[in-house]
Amino acid sequence: MERTIFQDTHETFRRTARDFMTREVVPHYADWDAAGLVPRDIFRRIGELGILGMQIPAEYGGAGSDSFLYAAVWAEETARAYVNLGGFSAHLHIVLPYFLAYSSVEQRRRWFPGLGSGALMASIAMTEPGTGSDLAGMTTMAEKRDGHYVINGAKTFITGGINADLVLVVARTGKGANRRDGLSLLVVERDMPGFTRGRNLEKIGLRTQDTAELFFQDVRVPEENLLGEEGDAFSYMTSNLPQERLGIAVASQAAAEAALATTVGYVQDRKAFGTTVSSFQNTKFELAACAAEIEAGRFLVDRALVAHDAGELSAADAAKVKIFTTELQGRVVDRCLQLHGGYGYMREYAIGRLYADARISRILGGSTEVLKTIVAKSMGL
């Protein structure tokens, strides 16, 4: 069915994105996969296309758009090329919105040009070895001393943690009546003394995405690097989550579509019992069932994108969209891999990588279980 959410300008941008993937990403992708991260320079090249600065105000070199649709087009074209661009999505979908919403004029002058050009890549560090889903349980401390916050603690699973120039660290600056009180957002810069990066963690999928442990030992962060108000980080995280979850939903939906596309091609080439795999009724039924589910997911995501641009995507609705699309992605990649036989289990085949990459979608950015509690709450349960 026809999609109606994109205009000509989006389709022009789609062609640019597609061309970029073909020329600058796909030829090098096997090397990046083996290295465990994308080269830092690729972000500057992406920055030249304008996508990193799309939502940054024009006075700081951006395009000043408040639409998420260009980011969605980019995510779709990334999936269509069967690639992953490391910390790119975390930077654009998750971290940048905090800077856009909560930075002061001085901070905007300092960071916006770099964030929009790719000269500065940013990560967000919430998760700790002892706390993930339960964000209010964070123990990383930031004590106020002589015009600085002194950070001590450790974070883990940080996307883009190796390549990042700025890390938005959520740390405890005080105590309150509620566990959610007293958390603040502090911008830690690349070379601050006491800030060290651990290893690039060995994952079962998303091999080009650097995911790191970060350590903070008496890191002195000037007060000017506090983003927003001291103690308000929990409410900031809550209000940014719908976009984070929508971004994951867009990527999951696009990955499911990519899995179907590569499988439709594969089964028409592969022969068994003197005929093509595509001629078996089971193959047709499996792929038809995937196509029907994908169509439903597509309409849900498109509806959510429109609602988000209109400022109407609620936390519960974003949770529903993420649950639906990430579970859909899991089912589709599994069925598609099955139709590849043993070749599907090989990383050199796109479906093998899509299968391994898909598994984390149901966990990060709010696991399916945690999201169900949000939806249930919205139902009065």
Ligand X SMILES: Cc1cc2nc3c(=O)[nH]c(=O)nc-3n(C[C@H](O)[C@H](O)[C@H](O)COP(=O)(O)OP(=O)(O)OC[C@H]3O[C@@H](n4cnc5c(N)ncnc54)[C@H](O)[C@@H]3O)c2cc1C
Binding site for ligand X (CB under 6 A): 90, 123-127, 132-133, 157-159, 203, 206, 211, 360, 363-364, 367, 369-370, 373
Q: With respect to ligand X, which residue has the nearer C-beta, 141 or 370? A: 370
Strand partners, 186: 169, 226
Concatenated DSSP letters for 171-215?
EE----SSTTTTEEEEEEETT-TTEEEEEE---SS-TTS-EEEEE
* Residue 163 parent element (H or E): none
The distance of closest approach from Cβ of residue 127 to ligand X in the complex, given in angstroms and rounded to an integer, is 3
Cβ 140 vs Cβ 172: under 8 Å: yes
List, by residue number, the catalytic residues. 244
The distance of closest approach from Cβ of residue 258 to ligand X in the complex, given in angstroms and rounded to an integer, is 19
How far apart are the C-alpha atoms of 272 and 267, rounded to whole Å?
10
The distance of closest approach from Cβ of residue 250 to ligand X in the complex, given in angstroms and rounded to an integer, is 17
Q: How many residues does the chain have?
A: 381
Which tokens is 163 given?
Answer: 């390549």
Q: With respect to ligand X, which residue has the nearer C-beta, 133 or 238? A: 133
Q: Taking the C-alpha atoms of 320, 321, 325 and 328 in order, what is their torsion angle to the nearest 10 degrees?
A: 40
The residue of the chain with the least Cβ separation from ligand X equals 132
Q: With respect to ligand X, which residue has the nearer C-beta, 73 or 358? A: 358
Q: With respect to ligand X, which residue has the nearer C-beta, 25 or 360? A: 360
Which tokens is 253 given?
Answer: 């939906």
The bridge status of strand 141-145 relative to strand 148-159 is antiparallel
Q: With respect to ligand X, which residue has the nearer C-beta, 144 or 203? A: 203
How far apart are the C-alpha atoms of 268 and 100, rounded to whole Å?
48
Which tokens is 274 given?
Answer: 């003197």
C-alpha dihedral sign at 375, 378, 379, 381? positive
Strand partners, 131: 128
Whose tokens are 């940054």? That residue is 56
